[in-house]
Amino acid sequence: MRVKGFAPAKINLTLHVTGRRADGYHLLDSLVVFADVGDALEFTPGPTLSMSVIGEHAEGVPTDDRNLVWKAAAAARWTGHINLNKVLPHGGGIGGGSSDAAATLRMIADHGGAIPDETALTLGADVPVCVAANATRMKGIGEQLQPVSLPRLPALLVNPGVEVPTGSVFSALQSRDNAPMPEKIPAFETPETCSNWLLAQRNDLETPTKNLASEVARVLDDLSDTRDALMARMSGSGSTCFALYPTMNAAHFAAYEIGAAHPDWWCRATLLN
């Protein structure tokens, strides 16, 4: 029986780097939400594991054990064919590969598969939060997850088509011992009140990423200039950036503005939650 899965884009509304462990892993404090745009997967059980990739961002995506989807299926001892429709730009800071792996683990668990407790984290720091796929405060190296209640946030996601290696971004980070978010995240009634609070928070990887890829700075400037934009910030280690808006109509209008000015950029209006 063929089963479908959805792997939503992961957006870091904040990303505070608060320390570094002796083993080299960075400690984070991040407010993570998920979009209604993402990759689509189809799972067809069978005797052996195989994989195919289609879609606008399929080029360069491996279809063997280098792919996190393959690793997730193998870790859970699931076999069959997986077809991945790659909508999200890879290497874009929105958890494409991690969300794909998480969707695979969710599908296997939903159909009675046994998944060891540490499997998600061994696949990557973002995989546990992507398994949850709801608004979450993520701390530590990705293993500390606290559900958060947020209003739905109209947003525009923009990727300029450049990949920024995560390792290079962390290497360029000047300070690794920064302040976390406030201990308590307030209750927000509207996108406006949420955005006002977020403006006082940070993505500590934004500055080093802009220094490595000037296109990211251009995207942030253009997003900030769109009509009714409440705030603009980079997600993860880049290069995808987002802006928040009071309504979906405003987000769609901004998508039209950005798309007309930069037809080569990946641009999606979406609802974050």
Q: What is the CATH number of the domain that holds 229?
A: 3.30.70.890
Cis before 98 (ω within 30) = no
Element of type H or E holding 121:
helix 119-123
**Statement to judge: residues 191 and 169 lie in one domain:** yes
Compute the Cα dihedral for 173, 175, 176, 179 and give only its sign: negative
Identify the CA nearest to 195 among candidates 238, 139, 152: 152
**Residue 225, pLDDT score:** 98
Burial of residue 253 (number of CB atoms within 10 Å: 0-12, 13-18, 19+): middle
d(CA 219, CA 183): 31
Whether 112 and 240 map to the same domain: the answer is no
- pLDDT band, very low/low/confident/very high, at 227 (cuts 50, 70, 90): very high
> Does residue 117 have a pLDDT over 90?
no
CA R_g for the chain = 18
Cα separation, 255 vs 250, whole angstroms: 9
Q: Which among 147, 173, 188 is the end of a domain? A: 147
| Least reliable range by pLDDT among 58-67, 116-125, 204-213, 256-265 | 116-125
Q: Which of 122, 147, 172 is the last residue of a domain?
A: 147
Among 10, 86, 139, 210, the one annotated catalytic? 10
- 143 and 159 assigned to the same domain: no
**The pLDDT of residue 62:** 96
Same domain, 168 and 252: yes
Give the SS3 label for residue 37: strand
| Whether residue 74 is found in the same domain as residue 172 | no
Last residue of a domain, one of 104, 124, 147: 147
Identify which of 87, 8, 19, 15 has the alpha carbon closest to the alpha carbon of residue 233.
15
Segment 157-204, tens digit of pLDDT: 999 999 889 999 999 999 999 999 999 999 999 999 999 999 999 999
* Domain around 138: 3-147
What's the structural domain count of the chain?
Answer: 2
Q: Above 90 in pLDDT, residue 216?
A: yes
Asked if 84 and 175 sit in the same domain, the reply is no
pLDDT at 236: 96
Residues 102 and 162 in one domain: no
Give the pLDDT band of residue 258 (cuts 50, 70, 90): very high
Sheet holding 266-272, edge to edge: 231-234, 241-244, 153-159, 266-272
Tell me if residue 126 is catalytic: yes
Q: For 60-114, what is each residue's pLDDT tens digit?
A: 999 999 999 999 999 999 999 999 999 999 889 999 999 999 999 999 999 988 8
Please indicate, yes or no, whether residues 111 and 180 belong to a single structural domain of this protein.
no
On whether both 17 and 116 belong to a single domain, the answer is yes
CATH of the domain at 108: 3.30.230.10
Q: In this predicted model, what pLDDT tens digit does every residue of 14-61 receive, in sequence order?
A: 999 999 999 999 999 999 999 999 999 999 999 999 999 999 999 999
- Give the pLDDT confidence score for residue 53 in this predicted structure: 98
| Tokens, residue 222 | 């253009």
Catalytic residue among 29, 39, 100, 126: 126
Q: Are residues 170 and 258 in the same domain?
A: yes
Q: Are 139 and 159 in the same domain? A: no
Cα-based distances in Å from 215 to 159, 177, 202, 234, 257 = 9, 27, 19, 12, 17
State whether 73 and 138 are in the same domain.
Answer: yes
